[in-house]
DNA sequence: CTCATATATGCGAATCACTCGCATCTAAGC
DNA sequence: GCTTAGATGCGAGTGATTCGCATATATGAG
């Protein structure tokens, strides 16, 4: 048996965050999401489970979760912030410019070269975003 | 003698954009900028040359120039849009998280691998942004 | 050179995503 | 069961960007 990663709820407890009713639902929605929802979409999904949660609570919760390193914020070209649980292993994103669909990929080689170049410039990498806007190949 | 690239003003004319007073000053400011100014900073620089240009005009002009492919928009982590003339050869950016300073770099290798991976996924690349947030190496 | 008109500008109002103030509520430790 | 720091709901506030509209002007035609 491989040991499953700690759930978001467990990680919240570890971080000393309170598990309130609204927060539990938001965590559940985040766990169930395999895409990159924005705040409004999260709100919609939360409302579907338990109506009455204010959108300001979604905003505050994602901010808290991001500050504690439990979720990642993304800002693709459309403006709004999007979120996903911090993945086990880092990945970057293709964004289909026609549909907005997001596809994840990882290149160990690109990651390595980034480190190499940063070192040449005398920098330590804190984080990075590689967003590749694409369209399906014709023919 | 190498032939100099067409100036922004020339490219505007090619695109059929009118060369008004305010617009000429904005183009001049963009040509003179070797950093990545946001709209307020552009406005400040324009006002220093010719007061009275409204900030809405700056917004409209950078949008027009970007739509015509004459300048690039960037959105680093600080929220506001930043701009630079479309460079002769593409580059990516380091952003110093302590100072906000932006340093440009280019890796042919990273560019090549991106194309390779996109092809594997069945995509054509439209554009991409690689923003690496860094801090000066200690020691 | 003069005119006609599509474009651009100034200005204030509007929008949009997001944040804040504050009264109220509640999870969680004792 | 208390206590209290932290969380929530709600409405107001922000900051960046866009829009509506009246006015001005660049540019091409004549
Ligand atoms: Mn992802
Ligand atoms: Mn640049
Ligand atoms: Zn990466
Ligand atoms: Zn690049």
Q: Which CATH superfamily is domain A92-134 in?
A: Ferric-uptake regulator, C-terminal dimerisarion domain (3.30.1490.190)
In chain A, the percentage of residues whose pLDDT exceeds 70 is 97
Pairing of the two strands B71-74 and A102-105: unpaired
pTM of this prediction?
0.91
- Say if A136 is an interface residue toward chain B (CB within 8 Å): yes
pLDDT tens track of chain B, all 139 residues? 556 688 999 999 999 999 999 999 999 999 999 999 999 999 999 999 999 999 999 999 999 999 999 999 999 988 899 999 999 999 999 999 999 999 999 999 999 999 999 999 999 999 999 999 999 998 7
Q: How many residues does chain B have?
A: 139
Determine the pLDDT at residue A133: 96
Determine the pLDDT at residue B3: 62
Question: Nearest residue of A to residue B110 by CA position?
Answer: A110
Structural domain boundaries of chain B?
A: 8-85, 92-134
Asked whether B29 and B9 are in contact (CB, 8 A), the reply is no
What 3-state class would DSSP assign to A92?
A: strand
Determine the pLDDT at residue B65: 97
Task: Answer for B39: CB within 7 Å of strand D.
Answer: yes
CB contact under 8 A, A124 and B136: yes
Please name the residues in contact with B17: beta carbons below 8 A apart, sequence gap of 6 or more.
B23, B64, B68
| Sign of CA pseudo-dihedral B132, B69, B50, B75 | negative
Residue B19: half-sphere exposure toward Cβ, Cα within 13 Å: 11
Topology of domain A8-85, CATH? Arc Repressor Mutant, subunit A (1.10.10)
Determine the pLDDT at residue A3: 63
Bridge partners, residue A73, by sequence:
A83
Asked whether B135 and B98 are in contact (CB, 8 A), the reply is yes
Sheet holding A102-105, edge to edge: A102-105, A92-96, A123-136, B123-136, B92-96, B102-105
Determine the pLDDT at residue A1: 59
Bridge partners, residue B135, by sequence:
A124
Q: How far is the CA of B21 from the C1' of C4 (A)?
A: 21
pLDDT means per 10 residues in chain A (139 residues)? 79 95 97 96 96 96 96 92 96 94 97 98 96 92
Closest Cα to residue B72, out of B122, B128, B132? B128
What 3-state class would DSSP assign to B103?
A: strand
Which of B123, B124, B129 has the highest number of chain A CBs within 10 A, making it the mutation to test binding with A?
Answer: B123
Determine the pLDDT at residue A2: 60
- Say if A52 is an interface residue toward chain B (CB within 8 Å): no
Residue of B75, B103, B138 with shortest CB distance to A75 = B75
Task: Answer for A60: CB within 7 Å of strand D.
Answer: yes
Task: Answer for A39: CB within 7 Å of strand D.
Answer: no
Six-digit token pair at A71? 């979720």
Question: E strands of A71-122, at which residues?
Answer: 71-74, 82-85, 92-96, 102-105
Asked whether B126 and A108 are in contact (CB, 8 A), the reply is no
Task: List bases, strand D, within 7 Å of protein CB.
Answer: 6-12, 16-20, 25-27
Determine the pLDDT at residue B139: 73
- Say if B86 is an interface residue toward chain A (CB within 8 Å): no
Owner of token pair 């690109």? A110
Q: How many residues does chain A have?
A: 139
Determine the pLDDT at residue A5: 80
Task: Answer for B15: CB within 7 Å of strand D.
Answer: no
Measured CA to CA, the distance from residue A124 to residue A21 in angstroms comes to 40
């Amino acid at each position: 048996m491989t040991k499953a990663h700690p759930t978001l709820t467990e990680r919240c407890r570890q971080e000393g965050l309170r598990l309130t009713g609204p927060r539990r639902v938001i965590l559940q929605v985040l766990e169930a999401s395999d895409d990159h929802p924005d705040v409004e979409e999260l709100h919609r999904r939360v409302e579907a489970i338990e109506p009455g949660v204010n959108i300001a609570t979604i905003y505050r919760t994602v901010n808290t979760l991001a500050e504690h390193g439990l979720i990642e914020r993304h800002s693709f070209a459309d403006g709004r912030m999007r979120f996903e649980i911090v993945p086990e292993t880092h990945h970057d994103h293709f964004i289909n410019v026609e549909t907005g669909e997001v596809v994840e990929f990882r290149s160990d080689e690109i990651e390595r070269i980034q480190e190499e170049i940063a070192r040449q410039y005398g920098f330590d990498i804190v984080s990075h975003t590689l967003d590749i806007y694409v369209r399906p190949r014709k023919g």
